[in-house]
Chain A
Amino acid sequence: MKGNSIYKIPEGKLVKISMDFDGGKIMAVKIFGDFFLHPERGIELIEKDLCGKKIEEKTLIDEIEKTVKKNCLELFGISSQGLATAILLAKEGAKNG
């Protein structure tokens, strides 16, 4: 299934998610937005590491934080919580659509 979402992170930037998922797990995900992330290539690492993961809030937050820590990424205008919420909304959107 395909899911998309647009989510304004409270006190942060706008995040757009485009996701393929199956059986409650992420098959592929792209994270778009006007946020900042240093170094920038870190976004591809987050997207890659989320593949195969359960679309469940705690799992998503833990996975994102693991990638952030492992690669010394710095996020501005987004957060692991905000990204997890946007991904959950993309799943919800697909279900309702």
Chain B
Amino acid sequence: MVESKEFRLLETGSNSAAKNMAIDEAVMRLAHRTRKPAVRFYGWSPPAISIGYFQGLEQEVDLQKCGELVGDFVRRITGGGAVFHDHELTYSFACTQESKIVPEKIIDSYKKICNPIILGLKEFGLDATFVPLNDIVVNGKKISGNAQTRREGAVLQHGTILMEVDVEKMFSLLKVPNEKLKGKLIEDVKQRVTSLEQQCGKKVSFEKLSGSLKKGFEKEFGARLVKGKLTEEETGLADKIMQERFSAKEWNFKR
């Protein structure tokens, strides 16, 4: 059955890493109950590091520095790399697979869900393009990383759009395989990563960016994004998942 072309818009503000990941998972797991696809825009407070499902926490993150400088970290349920969430907007998109809102083929669905981000960035005059599997680039530099999972017949994709970037700070929190090459690595990443601030030549507010992305989702999916709130069931499940999974040492240190 095709769901109506009305999507839920969830603007949940800034939350802890564990809560953010728990809300994303709860919205995905209850997608078959809420029926409507959900688009969520959110931030991270305090700033945090998230690592991919398959990464080793202690391999990737300098936990001492992380504790001193930001204080929050979490393992995602999605693959991909470590991300320092600071001056950025994070989005998530969740829908059931049976809704056929996104292509069944994973690689095609990444592109479909990244298109609204590309359209949103166009509002700022930026010519953004999708680079498989999971990146969006502007002028050859990465501005957005995305990650997808599929569970219980539902799709969840979340991703970041860098509003400002501080590569030095990011690397003070992440471990690198060879300390001697850290300086070169930082220079390499500076060449490969960009932000809205760098591309627009001025700071862009979270609200302005989320407004543009909302339009992007509406255009790409031919849908209307209607402001909504998490249901009681979603809030309850998110609290449970936050306690049992994302706040738990067993999960975050599992690899």
Contacts and interface: CB of A to CB of B under 8 A. Distances in A.
Interface of A: 6, 13, 16, 18, 30-40, 43, 74, 76-77
Contacts of A33: 52, 54-55
B191 interface: no
B255 A30 contact: yes
10 contacts: A6-B177, A31-B54, A33-B55, A35-B79, A37-B54, A38-B149, A43-B53, A43-B54, A76-B106, A76-B133
B147 A36 contact: yes
Interface residues of B, number: 23
Contact of A16 (B59, B147, B149): B59
B56 A16 contact: yes
Contacts of B80: 34, 36
Does more than half of chain A's interface fall in helix, strand or loop, or is it mixed?
strand
A38 B150 contact: yes
Contact of B55 (A18, A32, A74, A76): A32
A34 B81 contact: yes
Interface in B111-137: 133-134
Given A39-B150, A40-B53, A40-B77, A34 B255 contact: no
